């Protein structure tokens, strides 16, 4: 009997259980024995992957880079969602503040989400610097570390930033592109109250990560099983909607380039080490 592939995921929301139940059941029917274990934070999941307690980790981009760093860049990224490609951070402000550019942020209060969130903190900080501002002296940073350990998955810190903007506690702030799209599509704030004035370059988000010595056949079987999922099947469509994707994408060197900017930002901000 073949070994059961043990997959790790972080329980950032109640929907995580039905998502992985569907993937587990599909995999077992497909012929690849799979089970999963949930962690309360990505730091513990990274440690479990390194110790061989799990075979595959569904990692955020921050967790992927920390795993890659810990293995001298030898860890492997197998698959990502189509929506993990060209992710962006969006800078927003209340319309009445008349903030239309990065330059207008000088002397203003700017909100960043959880310090371990790529989209709400790490990348925005790096792009403030890239656009010529010193985040420590040219503006007042206000941090909302409201979901540490989840790497921004809950979106809670992004909504803390948005509420602070609406309340007038800060002048502007950074959120992820998926949160910005959700605000527009669901009309979460009065139309015209909040505007975007800047977006970063695109970067990559989550992926399935394995260690450098992962069994090649296991990786191939897992990859083929994930890629075989047909979004036209109702149960798979349900899972993909909950997980926020249209299709799975096999990672090539081209997709891996999408992590370079975040790697450099984490290195600059001393965030590469996996500290529990």
Q: Which CATH class is domain 89-199?
A: alpha beta
Contact between residue 125 and residue 269 where contact means Cβ atoms under 8 Å apart: yes
Q: Which residues contact 128 (CB under 8 A, 6 or more apart)?
A: 102, 105, 110, 135, 139
Domain extents in the chain: 5-84+204-269, 89-199
Low-confidence ranges of the chain (pLDDT < 70): 1, 276
Task: Note whether 5-84+204-269 and 89-199 share their fold.
Answer: yes
Q: Which numeric CATH code is attached to 5-84+204-269?
A: 3.40.190.10
What's residue 218's pLDDT? 97
State how far the Cα of 246 lies from the Cα of 66, in Å rounded to an integer.
27
Q: Read off the pLDDT of residues 184-219 as tens digits, 9 standing for 90 and up.
A: 999 888 888 999 999 999 999 999 999 999 999 999
Give me the pLDDT at residue 156, please. 94
What's the residue count for the chain?
276
Q: Give pLDDT, residue 191.
A: 83
User: What's the CA gap between 108 and 112, in Å, rounded?
Assistant: 13
Alpha-carbon gap, residue 48 to 46, rounded angstroms? 5
Q: What is the arrangement of strands in the sheet containing 56-59, beginning at the earlier edge strand? A: 34-39, 5-10, 56-59, 207-210, 76-77
């Amino acid at each position: 009997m073949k070994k059961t592939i043990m997959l790790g995921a972080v329980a950032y929301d109640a929907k995580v259980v039905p998502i992985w139940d569907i993937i587990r059941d599909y995999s077992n029917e497909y012929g690849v024995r799979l089970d999963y274990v949930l962690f309360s934070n990505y730091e513990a999941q990274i440690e479990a992957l390194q110790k061989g307690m799990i075979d595959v980790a569904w990692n955020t981009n921050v967790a992927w880079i920390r795993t890659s760093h810990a293995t001298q860049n030898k860890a492997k990224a197998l698959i990502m969602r189509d929506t993990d490609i060209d992710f962006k951070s969006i800078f927003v402000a209340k319309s009445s503040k008349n903030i239309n550019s990065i330059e207008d942020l000088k002397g203003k209060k700017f909100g960043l989400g959880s310090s371990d969130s790529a989209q709400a903190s790490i990348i925005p900080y790096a792009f403030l610097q890239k656009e010529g501002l010193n985040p420590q002296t040219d503006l007042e940073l206000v941090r909302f570390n409201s979901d540490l350990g989840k790497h921004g998955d809950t979106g809670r810190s992004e909504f803390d930033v948005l509420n602070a903007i609406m309340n007038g506690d800060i002048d502007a702030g950074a959120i992820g592109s998926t949160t910005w799209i959700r605000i527009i599509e669901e009309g979460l704030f009065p139309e015209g109250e909040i505007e975007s004035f800047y977006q970063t370059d695109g970067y990559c988000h989550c992926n399935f990560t394995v260690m450098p010595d992962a069994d090649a056949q296991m990786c191939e079987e897992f990859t083929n099983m994930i890629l075989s999922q047909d979004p036209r099947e109702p149960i798979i469509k349900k899972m993909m909607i909950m997980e926020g994707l249209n299709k799975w994408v096999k990672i090539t060197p081209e997709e891996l380039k999408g992590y370079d900017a975040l790697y450099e930002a984490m290195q600059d901000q001393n965030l590469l080490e996996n500290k529990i």
